Chains A and B, each alone.
Chain A
Amino acid sequence: MAEIVSKEKIAENIYSVQIFTPLIAKKCKPGQFVIIRLDERGERIPLTIADFDRDKGNIRMVFQVVGKTTLQLSRYDVGEDISDVTGPLGNPSEISNYGTVVMVGGGVGAAPVYPIARALKEAGNEVITILGARSKALLIMEEELTSVSDELLISTDDGTKGKKGFVTDVLKELLDSGRRVARVWAIGPAIMMRFVSELTRKYNVPTIVSLNSIMVDGTGMCGACRVEVGGETKFTCVDGPEFDGHKVNFKLLMERLATYKEEEKRALENYRKSIEEEGE
């Protein structure tokens, strides 16, 4: 059991919660994730660790309401418990002094970028962060990322803040400017990670992506999170979640992410209905 110690709505449909889980807070490293199960009937879902406070024993998770479980979690209040939190899972990011690194965070993916960017900054890198969202109201983590970046560039699809366009437009400009970029991290929707990887491949810049596959146990036991990397089958939970973006089969990733589309819709509708009935 892990108690929710803080909860904040940080953008439309995006929430940030901190939970008290001292052992995980003590052990986790940037790039790792946890698997949570809200209650006895809950599904196990992976969430990336957006921050951790080893002294207070908290970890922070940022999530977008997309389905039943995330909607339910958004309705939890401070002081309530999440039944199960398992972690830290997955391999930590490889932190080293690369030189100049570009951190690309799209949508809710900006959250896990933060601890990685911080660690890279601490390791001596020049950190350039590109933060993207559909619209200004959906931008998150700007303050946190500013604090660990030498430069923060913003793009929104509708031009309400920063450059109008996609993160890839900003990244392309940066790469074209002749800046020597040693490595790119891209975390966000699969489609964004795919376009970033396709772009950086042309420039020969090593690119790390963090995949958000469907998981059950998160320990290599079931294979739900299978992905293809360089033509080989890998398990995101134990071989990742970070992989060489130039080798990931994004088409397969996106197809597999849609496995339970109908079921997810049904579960969400049922849950919405039960909330309404409760409210009456």
Chain B
Amino acid sequence: MAGKLQLKKTPMKEQPPEERIKNFNEVPYGYTVEEAIAEANRCLQCSPPPCVKGCPVNVDIPGFIKLIKEKDFRGAINRIKLTNNLPAVCGRVCPQEDQCEKACTLGKIKGGEPVAIGRLERFAADWEAEHGVETPEIIEKKDGKVAIVGAGPAGLTAAADLAKMGHEVTVFEAFHKAGGVLVYGIPEFRLPKSIVEREVENIKKLGVKFEFNRVIGKILTIDELLNEEGFDAVYIATGAGTPRFMNIPGENLIGVYSASELLTRTNLMKAYKFPEYDTPIKVGNKVAVIGGGNVAMDAARTSLRLGAREVHVVYRRSRIEMPARAEEIHHAEEEGIIFDFLTNPTRIIGDENGRVKQMECIKMRLGEPDSSGRRRPIPIEGSEFKMDVDIVVVAIGQSSNKVLLQATPNLKLNKRGYIEADETGKTSIEGVYAGGDIVTGAATVILAMGAGKTAAKAIDEYITNKKKR
């Protein structure tokens, strides 16, 4: 290799914080061709490549990076798309630092940073968007008919894979748009909705049909899909789907939102463009977001962009226990979000009209590690204090949505109320597979995609065997 080893990642330019808090535009700009090639040149092309093992959908990482290096960008994106149906999404929202990039040899060298695999993936996907998409030919037609319930990351991945295998696929989506969490949950400034639309269009080109406004469990049951609508198999990918609240006094006051509601109003319904769009949202002066995950970061940064003057993230543990990605915390801090660690709300106080006025919190200290391996927060007696707030956003996680589950009483659930499925996604009902958050509980986009991929394979095998019978 010519020249000295570049230890650090090629930087990616972003909107400066003081600018971006005033708009919903994407924060990082993405690599230019020169930057991408420079970064691709850092890849050591290890054999065997440790990074691929870190990828839930097994992208041929050294393969596509080599193609970028050779300026064969079309080849690079096609290589990624062999195993990843949503590259523009993954390049932006995957926690690469815990996956592919964690395993990168360069990152293990003293003072070294891993290759920016996520950024390169994004580069290849965006290049394709600019230069036109090549839709892969579906070589072999099979006569399987598969219903996918939910058009989120797991459902879209399974749909695309099954269509590529030659099956007839219909996706039933409860909302009026495809994408699931990618359109209602993840904000525009992290994942522009035009990109999700583009990825969905690519999946439509594979022949996948979408039926919107269809709440399975209400309009059609799983049983009806299999026995009346003629589907050979059903894949349930509905997401976790119901917000958890803290069960403290005052939680139903006006101005208390679940993160899901705040984000759905803003992202899917475009409340940030009210009244140009019809859906309203309350804009706070002082907002408190409860929780320490990525969703809490999204809610905090969204609140700021909606026009709040001061946004606090209130988290009961300390910084190192925060489940949010380092990059998200970093962005939030840059934007002026205030972090109140070791703080837990005890009640929300309203005015005479039932609107949020204050939140009472208690200070916490950390005790011994709990079942999650993180140190357990313990309230410090007598340390209660009140903060003035007018909006409270509860971002403490999700539980399983019961709409489909209640309508499918023979579907076996696990102790936590999610669907019981084996490693291929197979459930207690023949021909019914499930994956993503409705099996694992709230997790990441890429894990859901991985589940969709595995299930697609299992469903294909199931149908092939069934047709032989």
Interface residues of A (CB under 8 A from B): 23-24, 27, 37, 41-44, 68-69, 83-89, 216-224, 226-228, 233, 235, 238, 251-252, 255-256, 258-260, 263-264, 266-267, 270
* Contact call B242/A220, Cβ cutoff below 8 A: yes
Bound CA span A50–B353, Å:
33
Bound CA span A226–B243, Å:
11
Given the interface contacts A220-B241, A267-B274, does A260 sit within 8 Å of B280 by beta carbon? Answer: yes
* Contact call A267/B252, Cβ cutoff below 8 A: no
Q: B318-356 interface mask toward A, CB cutoff 8 Å, 1 = contact, 0 = none?
A: 000000000000000000000000000000000001100
| Residue B245 is within 8 A (CB to CB) of chain A in the complex | yes
Residues of A within 8 A of B243 (CB): 221-223
Partner of B175, one of A217, A220, A224, A270: A217
Given the interface contacts A68-B278, A221-B243, does A24 sit within 8 Å of B354 by beta carbon? Answer: no
Given the interface contacts A88-B218, A89-B218, A252-B354, does A223 sit within 8 Å of B258 by beta carbon? Answer: yes
Bound CA span A235–B241, Å:
13
Name the interface residues of B375-421: CB closer than 8 Å to any CB of A.
401-403
| Residue B212 is within 8 A (CB to CB) of chain A in the complex | yes
Given the interface contacts A43-B279, A260-B280, A267-B280, does A84 sit within 8 Å of B260 by beta carbon? Answer: no
Q: Could you give 29 example pairs across A and B, Cβ below 8 Å?
A: A23-B220, A43-B269, A43-B277, A43-B278, A86-B176, A88-B219, A89-B215, A89-B218, A216-B261, A216-B265, A217-B174, A219-B215, A221-B260, A221-B264, A222-B261, A222-B264, A223-B243, A223-B261, A226-B252, A228-B252, A238-B403, A252-B354, A256-B254, A256-B354, A260-B282, A263-B274, A266-B275, A267-B274, A267-B275
- Of all chain A residues, which has the CB nearest B255? A259
| Residue B276 is within 8 A (CB to CB) of chain A in the complex | yes
Bound CA span A256–B270, Å:
21
Interface residue tally for chain B (C-beta within 8 Å):
39
Bound CA span A37–B268, Å:
12
Bound CA span A217–B242, Å:
11
* Contact call A256/B252, Cβ cutoff below 8 A: yes
* Minimum CB–CB distance for A85 against chain B, Å: 6
Partner of A255, one of B214, B254, B264: B254
Bound CA span A250–B242, Å:
24
Residues of B within 8 A of A42 (CB): 278
Residues of B within 8 A of A264 (CB): 280
Residues of A within 8 A of B278 (CB): 41-43, 68-69, 267
- Of all chain A residues, which has the CB nearest B277? A41
* Minimum CB–CB distance for A27 against chain B, Å: 6
* Minimum CB–CB distance for B88 against chain A, Å: 23
Bound CA span A143–B180, Å:
44
Residues of A within 8 A of B269 (CB): 43-44, 216
* Contact call B354/A86, Cβ cutoff below 8 A: no
| Residue B464 is within 8 A (CB to CB) of chain A in the complex | no
Bound CA span A219–B280, Å:
19
Residues of A within 8 A of B241 (CB): 219-221
